[in-house]
Structure 1
C-alpha cells in the first residue's frame, strides 16, 4: 500500500474525501445554526429578565408612603440655621428668633511647665447634670463614667490621652497660653443638663486637696471642691418660635416643631426670620417621572425583542412568543385596573397624569399630579404604596406583606402592652456608703449586670437619677440597646424597662444595696398587646399586632388607649406594590424560567445530536477513505503493469509489412 494516497495513481484522494465529507457534514451545519438560534433566544430572555429586574428596582421609591407626604423647609436666613422637615411636619409658616446658642461646659486646669509634668494617678469619675442654687442634679439620661489614670499615664499628656481614649462623653486637650500648659476638659454635649462634675479617687488618698490627681476635681455645688476653673458655662440654646420661648440643650433641635429639625448656626437676638414649610412636590414629581421612564425602558426592550418589521419583513428573535405577550398583557392589566379600596380618594393612574399611549408607552402629565397633590382630600401615597389608614390616633400602620388582602379591618384590643418594672416596697435609704449599700445586681430584659453607686447623701429624686445613670451606663446594658427609667413616689423607687412586652423584665437579684434601696421589690414582667383584627386573633409582640387570614402580614402598633373596639384599619396595596409582586412572580416563578429551561434542554439535545453525528461522520470518513485508498492501490498496480507491457512491446523487433 502506498504511504501517501494518490501518489501512485495520481488521484487526489484527500481532496475527494474532503469534498464528500463536506456533503455528509451538512446536517452538522444545520445543528450549529439551530443551536445559534437557541443561544440567541436564551440571550433574549436573559435581557428580558434584566429589564424586568431594573423596572422592579424603580418601584421601591414608590412603595414608601412617606415619599408622597414629604415636606420641604425653607429658612429665610440660612446663615442662622439649616432646617429640614419630615412628612410629619404640617405645612405653614413660622417666625423664629434665635437668641443664644447652646454651649458645652469647659474647664481648665492650673498652669504646668511642660506637658510631661506629672499630675497624679487614681480614678476620675465624671458625672453630668445641672448646677442650680448650689446644688448639682444628675442628668438621669447620662451615665457616670469612671476613668482609671495609671502611674504610667499620670503626666499631663498621659491624662489627656487616657481621657480621650475612654469615650466617656468628654474630650481633653492641652492649651499653651504662653506662660505654660493647661489641661482643658469639655463636655461633648451642650446644654445646662450636661455640666460636669468631676470627682477623684486619688492615689495619695486625699481626694479634695490641690495635689495629685485631685488637682482635676470640679464640683461647683455648695461645699464641693473646684480645683479646675470654668472657662465656658454649660448653657441651652434659646429661641422664640411664634412668640413662644423655647430652651433646648442642643443646637440640633428636633422637637420644637413636630417633624422639623433645626441646626442652629448663629444667634441673632432681636431679629425674627421666617420658616416656610411646604409640600415636597418636586421629589414626588421626580419619583413618578422615574417610574414612567423605567416602564418605557422596559417596554422598549420588550418591543425590540418581539417586533416585526413590515418594511424589511424581518422578525425579531421573540416575535410571536407567548411568554412575551403574557408579560405585556399582565403588566398592562395591573396598571389599568382601578384600585378598589385605596382610601385616599384615588383609584386609577390617569388621575395623577399617567396614561397609556397607542404605542404601549406611558405619558406623564406633571401638572395633573401637582394639582392632585394640592388637594387635601387626595392622598397620592395610597395610589402607589401599601398603606393602612387607622381611625384611632393611637394606632399606627407599620407594614404589610404582598399577600395581605385589601380591605377595611376592625380592631379590638383585649390587652394593652406594658413594661417590666421593679417597685421598691419601702422608702429608699438616701445615704450611700462605700462597701455598705452601694452595689446592685440586676437583670434587665434578660441581660445581667452589676452597678456601683457613688457614695453620698441624696434626695429621692437625685438618688433615682444616680441609679438610672449607672444602670444605663454599664456596658452589658448599653451594648444590648437596653435602657431603664427610674422614678420615685413617696420615697419608693421604681425601675422601668423602656421595652414593651413579655421580653421586658426588671429583676433586682442582689447586691449590698438591694435591701436599703428597694426592700423586697415587687417585680412585674411586661405583657404583649393582645387583640383581634377583623375578629381573628392577632399575634402580639410588644406594642405591635400582626394579623392572620386576610390580614396576614398586616402589622400595626398600639401605643396607648384602652381595651375594646379601637376603630378600623383601611388597607390597600397601591400600584407600585401590585407591580412589584407581579414582577417578582415573573422573575422567580415559572413564566420565564420554564422557557429558559426549555431552551437549555434543546441546546443539550442538540449537543447530544452533534456528538452522535460527529461519530457517524468519523465512521463515514474512515469507510470512504478506505475505499479510495484501495482504489488508489489498484490503479497504481494497473499503471505499473501497463508501463511494463509498453516497455516490453517497445523492445520487440520491428517487422516489415
Structure 2
C-alpha cells in the first residue's frame, strides 16, 4: 500500500495540530530556561547600573582625596594696575600693604651709528660678563650665578650684521639688534634678565692690538671701571632692580616677577605707586573649590543611594521589589559605605573628626544632607583643617616639621617625634685668610685653576684673571663652580661665603652624601691653603619611640610608622611634639571602591557568576532543543504510522461494507 504524502490525508486526523499541542508541552522547560536567562540578564544590567553609580561616587571622592584641593588660596589686589598675584599650596592667608618705588629693568647698550649693516668693524674676541657696578661705576662685581662667554669675530662675521648674529647665536643671555635711528645703523645689546646684577661688561681683545681705542672691534668695548677709554658703547638704559615695600619692609629684587618675598605668593609688579599710597594684597583660602567638591561628593552619594533603593528596595505603590532585592552583595556594600561615612577619625589632628563636624549628616531615607552655613563657618576657620578629614595625611605639631607622605603600610596613629640630629650640609673652610678688601687678590695665569670634589663628583674650574676684592672673589668662585658642566649635569651646586677673609664652600645638598673637598689646582694654596672639610649628616631621630631612617632632611618611620616621611627643616634637638596620621574619609572610600570595582571585586565576582549561569542555560537549552527535535520526529513518525493504519482499516471497512451490501442484494433477489 502506497504511503500518504501528507499527514492525516488518509485518516482525516489533524496530525500537525496534535503534534504542535504535544510539542507545546515538551517546550515548557525551554520557556522556563528563557525566563531564568531573562532574570539573569536583568541582574547583569542592574549590576552595571550599580557599578556606574559607584564609579561616579569614586570620581567625586577623588577630588577630596588630595591635600592640594584644600590648600588652595587666592590673591586679590586692590589696584590691579600696580601688580597681579598668584598663590600656591604653601601660601598663608593674610593682608599686606605693597608700595612699588621702581620696576626692574634690563641693561641696554648701543653702538655709534654706522652707514651700512655690512660695515666692517674688525676682528678679535668679545668677552661678555654679567655683574653689578657700584654707584660710581668704579668697581664691577661678577654675578656668581652667571658665566662669562667669549665670542670669536673673524672675516666671516666681522660686519655689523655679522656681529649681531654671532652674539644671538651664542645664546649667552644677551639679545642683539640693529636699529636705524636716522643717523645710521646702531648695534644694540640688551641683557635678557633685568636687575643690577645682570649689567653687562664687554671686554675686547682687538686684532689691531689696541683694545680701547675707537678703531676696529674696540668700538664695542664697555667697561666703565676702565674710565672713558672703556666706554665706547653708550648706555641707553641702566640695569635696575625692582624696589618695593611689603608692610613697610624694603625689598629689592632683580625681576618684576617676585616669588620669594611672601611664601607661596608670586607677585608680578606692573607699575610704581604714588608716594605713600600703597595698594593692598589680600591672600585668602579658596573655599569655593573645597565647598564645590564637598557638594559634588554629597550629590554623588545621594545618586548612589537612589540607585541602590531602586535596585534593591520595595515600591509599596506598585507592590514590586527591585531586581536586586535581597541581594547579599548589594546589602553588604551599602552597609560598608554607611559605616565608613558614620565613623569618627581618632587621629585626624585638624580639629575635625567626623562628617557631621562640617555639616554633612544622614537623613532618615539614607541620603546625605549638607548644612552649607556650617560648612562655610568651618572653611573660614583657620584652626580647622578640612584636608585631614578627607585625605590621607599627617599633621605635625611642630612648624619646622612637615608631612611628606606615607605608604600603604603606615598605620593611623598619633606618634611622638624626637630629633637627635638635624641634617647638615658638607663644607670646606679655607686654612688661610685673604687680603683685606682694599688690597684685593690677583688671579692670573699662575693661580687660576681649582680642583674640587663636590658630593662625590670631581671637577676642575678656571677663574677669570683679574684683581678681586673679597666680595668679588666670592661671586667669581660661586659663578665658576656652579656653571661647571660636570657639576650641572648632576645638579650639584655650592654657596660660597667669606667671613673675615676666610673662604667657605657649602654644598646645597643636605645629608651624608653632602661633601666638599678642595683637592688641588694652582689657586688652592693662595685661596684655601690647607682646607678643612666637614661632611654633611642625615637627620636622625625616632617616630613613635622607634628609631627612624634619615636621608638628608627626610626622616622615614619604621614598624607601624613604616613609610611615614617627615621633612625636618632644622630646629632644636630633643622632643619635637607629635604627628597625627590618619587615613581620611575620602581616602578610605576610594580604597573601598577600588577593591569593589576591581576585577576581583564583589560586583565583578557576582556578575561573573551570573555569566556562568547564563552560559549553563545556553548549554542546557541546546541539549533540550536537540531532545525536543527528536521527540517531535518520533511523534510525527508514530502519527504517520497511525494515519496509515487508520487509512488501511478505513479502506478494509469500506470494502467489507461493499461486499456485505452485495451479499444482501443477492439474497433479496433470490
TM-score by length of 2: 0.82
Where does residue 613 of structure 2 map in the other structure? 602
Where does residue 503 of structure 2 map in the other structure? 493
Where does residue 565 of structure 1 map in the other structure? 575
Q: How many residues align?
A: 641
125 and 446 in structure 1: CA distance in 2 versus 1, 3 angstrom threshold: farther
Where does residue 487 of structure 2 map in the other structure? 477
Quote how far apart the aligned CAs of 1:610 are.
5.6
Asked whether the equivalents of residues 308 and 316 of structure 1 are also in contact (C-alpha less than 8 Å), the reply is yes
Where does residue 102 of structure 2 map in the other structure? 100
Where does residue 250 of structure 2 map in the other structure? 245
1:128 aligns with 2:130: yes
Quote how far apart the aligned CAs of 1:498 are.
1.0
After superposition, the C-alpha distances for 1:95-148 in whole angstroms (9 at most, x for unaligned) are 332222111111222323344445556654433221104111122233444556
Tell me, in whole angstroms, the C-alpha distance in 2 between the residues paired with 1:418 and 1:288: 42
Tell me, in whole angstroms, the C-alpha distance in 2 between the residues paired with 1:418 and 1:84: 33
Tell me, in whole angstroms, the C-alpha distance in 1 between the residues paired with 2:299 and 2:463: 63
1:285 aligns with 2:297: no
Q: From 424, 442, 449, give the equivalent of 1:431.
A: 442
**Residues 612-631 of structure 1: matches in 2 within 5 Å?**
none
RMSD (Å) for aligned C-alpha atoms: 4.2
The DSSP-based 3-state class of the residue aligned with 2:225 is coil
After superposition, the C-alpha distances for 1:34-73 in whole angstroms (9 at most, x for unaligned) are 5555455444434434433332333344334454454433
Asked whether the equivalents of residues 472 and 478 of structure 1 are also in contact (C-alpha less than 8 Å), the reply is yes
Asked whether the equivalents of residues 13 and 628 of structure 1 are also in contact (C-alpha less than 8 Å), the reply is no
Is 323-332 or 68-77 further displaced after alignment?
Answer: 68-77
1:233 aligns with 2:248: no
Tell me, in whole angstroms, the C-alpha distance in 2 between the residues paired with 1:249 and 1:512: 35
Where does residue 661 of structure 2 map in the other structure? none
State the structure with more CA Rg.
2
Quote how far apart the aligned CAs of 1:374 are.
3.9
Tell me, in whole angstroms, the C-alpha distance in 1 between the residues paired with 2:22 and 2:252: 100
245 and 463 in structure 1: CA distance in 2 versus 1, 3 angstrom threshold: closer
Asked whether the equivalents of residues 143 and 468 of structure 1 are also in contact (C-alpha less than 8 Å), the reply is no
Asked whether the equivalents of residues 6 and 12 of structure 1 are also in contact (C-alpha less than 8 Å), the reply is no
Asked whether the equivalents of residues 443 and 449 of structure 1 are also in contact (C-alpha less than 8 Å), the reply is yes
Quote how far apart the aligned CAs of 1:235 are.
0.8
Where does residue 653 of structure 1 map in the other structure? none
After superposition, the C-alpha distances for 1:148-192 in whole angstroms (9 at most, x for unaligned) are 667545544444444444443333333222333323222222222
Asked whether the equivalents of residues 474 and 496 of structure 2 are also in contact (C-alpha less than 8 Å), the reply is yes
358 and 452 in structure 1: CA distance in 2 versus 1, 3 angstrom threshold: same
Q: From 551, 558, 571, give the equivalent of 1:541.
A: 551
Quote how far apart the aligned CAs of 1:307 are.
3.9
- Structure 1 gaps of 5+ residues are 646-655
TM-score by length of 1: 0.83
Q: From 322, 327, 350, give the equivalent of 2:333.
A: 327
Q: From 52, 73, 76, give the equivalent of 1:74.
A: 76
After superposition, the C-alpha distances for 1:569-590 in whole angstroms (9 at most, x for unaligned) are 2333332233233333333463
85 and 440 in structure 1: CA distance in 2 versus 1, 3 angstrom threshold: same
After superposition, the C-alpha distances for 1:540-568 in whole angstroms (9 at most, x for unaligned) are 12101111222223211111123332222
Asked whether the equivalents of residues 72 and 277 of structure 1 are also in contact (C-alpha less than 8 Å), the reply is yes
464 and 242 in structure 1: CA distance in 2 versus 1, 3 angstrom threshold: closer
Tell me, in whole angstroms, the C-alpha distance in 2 between the residues paired with 1:272 and 1:215: 45
Is 440-449 or 529-538 further displaced after alignment?
Answer: 440-449
The DSSP-based 3-state class of the residue aligned with 1:329 is helix
Tell me, in whole angstroms, the C-alpha distance in 2 between the residues paired with 1:425 and 1:22: 109
Where does residue 56 of structure 2 map in the other structure? 54
420 and 210 in structure 1: CA distance in 2 versus 1, 3 angstrom threshold: farther
The DSSP-based 3-state class of the residue aligned with 2:510 is coil
After superposition, the C-alpha distances for 1:308-335 in whole angstroms (9 at most, x for unaligned) are 4333344444333222222221111111
The DSSP-based 3-state class of the residue aligned with 1:553 is coil
Asked whether the equivalents of residues 106 and 198 of structure 2 are also in contact (C-alpha less than 8 Å), the reply is yes
Asked whether the equivalents of residues 19 and 636 of structure 2 are also in contact (C-alpha less than 8 Å), the reply is no
Where does residue 336 of structure 1 map in the other structure? 342
Quote how far apart the aligned CAs of 1:532 are.
0.9
After superposition, the C-alpha distances for 1:209-265 in whole angstroms (9 at most, x for unaligned) are 555555433222245833322111111122233333332222122343444332111
Quote how far apart the aligned CAs of 1:607 are.
5.2
Q: From 273, 279, 295, give the equivalent of 2:301.
A: 295
**Residues 141-156 of structure 1: matches in 2 within 5 Å?**
141-146=145-150, 152-156=156-160
Where does residue 660 of structure 2 map in the other structure? none
Q: From 178, 181, 191, give the equivalent of 1:174.
A: 178
Tell me, in whole angstroms, the C-alpha distance in 2 between the residues paired with 1:342 and 1:240: 39
Is 335-344 or 551-560 further displaced after alignment?
Answer: 335-344
1:528 aligns with 2:538: yes
Asked whether the equivalents of residues 412 and 566 of structure 1 are also in contact (C-alpha less than 8 Å), the reply is yes
1:395 aligns with 2:397: no
Quote how far apart the aligned CAs of 1:28 are.
6.1
576 and 630 in structure 1: CA distance in 2 versus 1, 3 angstrom threshold: same
118 and 68 in structure 1: CA distance in 2 versus 1, 3 angstrom threshold: same
The DSSP-based 3-state class of the residue aligned with 1:497 is strand
Q: From 126, 140, 144, give the equivalent of 1:140.
A: 144
Tell me, in whole angstroms, the C-alpha distance in 2 between the residues paired with 1:99 and 1:322: 72
Tell me, in whole angstroms, the C-alpha distance in 1 between the residues paired with 2:25 and 2:266: 82
Where does residue 184 of structure 1 map in the other structure? 188
The DSSP-based 3-state class of the residue aligned with 2:353 is coil
607 and 143 in structure 1: CA distance in 2 versus 1, 3 angstrom threshold: farther
54 and 416 in structure 1: CA distance in 2 versus 1, 3 angstrom threshold: same
